[in-house]
């Protein structure tokens, strides 16, 4: 008995110790959040220094605790509006002598976001302040920013590697046939190619036509921007025969970039730092090549956003549209609808701007958001949509209530079409001794049967539902654009369009960014002075702690030379494969999703997926066949 009491005392002591430890960790974390948060007044006279070590996005995603617990260091994310606001503010800030971007570990971003940042860089240059950029290898995204610099530096071991939009798509028809699986496709739209990876071995002629047209326009827009920002640059050999281009310069890629006017100077990080120090002042405590500087979080804390006049609410719909409360970084239908309803229930706003940067997703979630926007309109508030890099499929569905749609020439939109995919394994499992039997009281008993197959009635029912949903989609667009459903059907069929063509077709009203959409809403509301107010969920202290931990960690080591830069551009294929399989297995219902647009967004991570458990079955089958 005394032994049992001793064991019990030990267990209680361990429990009390763990509770105390967790309490200490909690308060330590809270203290970290409160003390590490940048405060106004910390800006140094010198340079605004932006070492971009991740992607530029519309909305930064939440950091999953499981990522940190598993030892993963998430790639940092920078919102485009934060970067452009900080850079533009530096133009009139007497404390800032120069704007400096280090792009050696830059993860890229969409053309629309980079154009926005480039315009802010132009504003700094117009104020007679230098903008300096450095990198080891300039790929397309980094080059788009560097074109706006007054001085673009490249490392002697680096160069420029321009690949243009496009790349490799994955198709699983051969694997599905090998597994003897059966993928049931329900779709409407000749160009709705989101299901093609599961039913074809290569792109359909229709999908190829649509993608070539859009990517051709994006490529031309990129070249036009670079040439306008850097008129003396010669892109000819760099984009048509890069091997000859480099060989003609003794296989020195840095010299090739310099002679073509794509960069201005060659020098390593120390030489670049010394050049910045000549302008912004040297910082001896920062080591060789150190210069006086203020980084983004501190500068943003010191530079408040405009707050004068009437507020125009801005609600961001970024990432895949999914059911539930997911996000930020993903557009959970319930979460977004609640934010929009908050605008409708308040008397503080002149109107609403939806900032859409999404390839679409769940039809039900898209409809939930659309209904919430309709409630804002019913209150009499003006509503506009500002399309970012993507507003396709479900991203266009949520845009239909808007009285005015703004887009950029490089926006991808359209993809008006719907589909559903259900895999069944009735021919796969018997190969391994697994069989099924059933008892049915109605045609829908046990359906859809993923193991035994779908009945003809279910096939017909699901196809009918997809067709009805497409008809509703057409009706929503037709009503919004003042056309007939037949007219919209001619330009729908799941086809994607660039922003310029979409404007010609009447799917978009005018070119312009978020600021233009906010100004339009304010004008409709007769608000002479106004400002944008971003409506978002307040991050929890724990989420802020995770963000602090994430930004405090060094990014994962990567090779940034030419070979490493080119290889990094293809790393998304594995993530895309996993995302495609998850999308197939998750049973997400009827979808309005633009798979063609996937190349324009960062790969979907496993943490963001909703079908992790389903993936296990598919992976097991693949292993069995392999």
Neighbouring residues of 286: CB distance < 8 A, sequence distance ≥ 6:
none
Residue in the block written with tokens 């999908």 = 207
3-state secondary structure of 63: coil
Catalytic residue among 135, 393, 410, 415: 393
What are the angstrom distances between the C-alpha of 89 and each of 73, 127, 150, 457?
Answer: 31, 11, 18, 62
Q: What is the dihedral of CA 312, 498, 580, 398, to 10 degrees?
A: 30
**Long-range contacts of the stretch 467-476 (C-beta < 8 A, 24+):** 467/188, 469/188, 469/363, 469/418, 469/590, 469/592, 470/188, 470/189, 470/417, 470/418, 473/397, 473/416, 473/417, 473/418, 473/592, 474/416, 476/370, 476/397, 476/400
Assess whether 410 carries a catalytic annotation: no
Helices assigned H by DSSP within 493-540: 499-505, 514-524
Alpha-carbon distance of 443 to 441, in angstroms, equals 7
- Contact at 8 Å (CB) between 141 and 89? no
Catalytic residue among 97, 129, 187, 192: 192
- Contact at 8 Å (CB) between 496 and 191? yes
DSSP character at residue 99: E
- What Rg do the C-alpha atoms of the chain give, in angstroms? 27
Distance, C-alpha 617 to centroid of its chain: 29
Tokens encoding 272: 């670049």
Alpha-carbon distance of 593 to 396, in angstroms, equals 10
Helices assigned H by DSSP within 72-179: 80-90, 111-126, 140-146, 173-179
Assess whether 5 carries a catalytic annotation: no
What are the angstrom distances between the C-alpha of 349 and each of 51, 210, 380?
Answer: 36, 40, 11
Q: What angle do CA 28, 62, 165 make, to 5 degrees?
A: 140
Residue in the block written with tokens 């991203």 = 395
What are the angstrom distances between the C-alpha of 546 and each of 33, 67, 244, 552?
Answer: 9, 10, 47, 10
What is the spatial order of strands in the sheet that 46-51 belongs to?
265-266, 151-160, 131-138, 96-102, 46-51, 293-295
Q: What is the DSSP annotation of 432-485?
A: GT-------SSTTTT-SBTTTB--HHHHHHHHHHHHHHHHHHHHHHHHHHT--H
**Residue 184: strand pairing partners:** 422
Alpha-carbon distance of 319 to 327, in angstroms, equals 9
- Closest Cα to residue 541, out of 43, 25, 69, 85? 25
Please list the active-site residues: 192, 393
């Amino acid at each position: 008995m005394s032994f049992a009491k001793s064991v019990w005392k030990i267990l209680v002591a361990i429990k009390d110790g763990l509770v105390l430890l967790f309490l200490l960790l909690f308060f330590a974390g809270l203290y970290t959040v409160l003390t590490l948060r940048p405060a106004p007044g910390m800006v140094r006279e010198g340079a605004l220094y932006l070492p971009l070590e991740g992607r530029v996005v519309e909305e930064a995603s939440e950091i999953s605790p499981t990522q940190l617990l598993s030892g993963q260091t998430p790639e940092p994310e920078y919102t485009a509006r934060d970067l452009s606001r900080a850079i533009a503010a530096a133009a009139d800030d007497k404390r800032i002598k120069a704007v400096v971007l280090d792009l050696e570990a830059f993860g890229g971003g969409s053309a629309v976001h980079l154009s926005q940042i480039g315009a802010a860089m132009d504003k700094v240059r117009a104020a007679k302040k230098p903008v300096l950029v450095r990198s080891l290898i300039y790929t397309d995204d980094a080059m788009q920013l560097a074109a706006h610099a007054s001085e673009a530096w490249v490392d002697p071991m680096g160069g420029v590697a321009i690949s243009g939009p496009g790349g490799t798509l994955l198709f699983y028809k051969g694997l599905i046939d090998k597994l003897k699986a059966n993928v049931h496709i329900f779709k409407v739209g000749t160009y709705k190619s989101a299901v093609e990876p599961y039913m074809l071995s290569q792109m359909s002629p229709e999908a190829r036509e649509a993608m070539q047209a859009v990517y051709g326009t994006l490529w031309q827009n990129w070249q036009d921007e670079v040439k306008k920002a850097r008129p003396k640059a010669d892109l000819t050999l760099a984009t048509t025969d890069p091997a000859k281009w480099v060989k003609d310069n003794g296989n020195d890629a840095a010299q090739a970039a310099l002679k073509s006017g794509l960069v201005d100077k060659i020098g390593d990080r120390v030489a670049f730092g010394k050049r910045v120090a000549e302008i912004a002042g040297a910082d001896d405590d920062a080591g060789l090549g150190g210069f006086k500087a203020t980084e983004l979080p501190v500068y943003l804390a010191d530079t408040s956003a405009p707050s004068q006049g009437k507020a125009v609410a801005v609600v961001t719909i970024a990432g895949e549209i999914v059911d539930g409360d997911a996000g930020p970084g993903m557009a959970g239908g319930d979460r977004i609808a609640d934010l929009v309803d908050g605008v409708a229930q308040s008397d503080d706003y002149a109107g609403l701007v939806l900032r859409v940067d999404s390839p679409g997703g769940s039809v039900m979630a898209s409809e939930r958001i659309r209904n919430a926007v309709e409630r804002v309109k019913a209150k009499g508030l003006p509503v506009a949509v500002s399309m970012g890099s993507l507003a396709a499929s479900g991203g266009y569905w949520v845009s239909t209530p808007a009285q005015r749609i703004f887009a950029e020439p490089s926006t991808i939109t359209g993809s008006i079409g719907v589909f559903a995919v259900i895999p069944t394994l009735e021919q796969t499992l018997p190969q391994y001794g697994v069989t099924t039997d059933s008892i049915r009281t109605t045609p829908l008993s046990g359906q859809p049967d993923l193991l035994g197959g779908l009945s003809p009635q279910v096939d017909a029912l699901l196809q009918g539902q997809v067709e009805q949903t497409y008809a509703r989609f057409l009706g929503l667009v037709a009503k919004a654009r003042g056309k007939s459903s037949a007219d919209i059907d001619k330009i729908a069929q799941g086809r994607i369009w660039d922003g310029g063509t979409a404007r010609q077709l009447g799917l978009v009203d005018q070119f312009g960014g978020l600021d233009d959409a906010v100004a339009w809403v304010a004008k409709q509301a007769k608000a002479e002075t106004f400002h944008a107010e971003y409506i978002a969920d307040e991050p929890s202290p724990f989420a802020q702690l995770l963000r602090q931990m994430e930004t405090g960690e060094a990014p994962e080591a990567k090779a940034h030379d030419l070979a490493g830069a080119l290889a990094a551009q293809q790393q998304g294929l594995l993530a895309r494969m996993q995302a495609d399989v998850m999308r197939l297995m998750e049973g997400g219902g009827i979808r309005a999703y633009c798979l063609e647009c996937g190349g324009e967004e960062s790969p979907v991570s496993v943490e963001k997926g909703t079908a992790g458990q389903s993936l296990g079955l598919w992976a097991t089958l693949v292993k069995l066949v392999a």
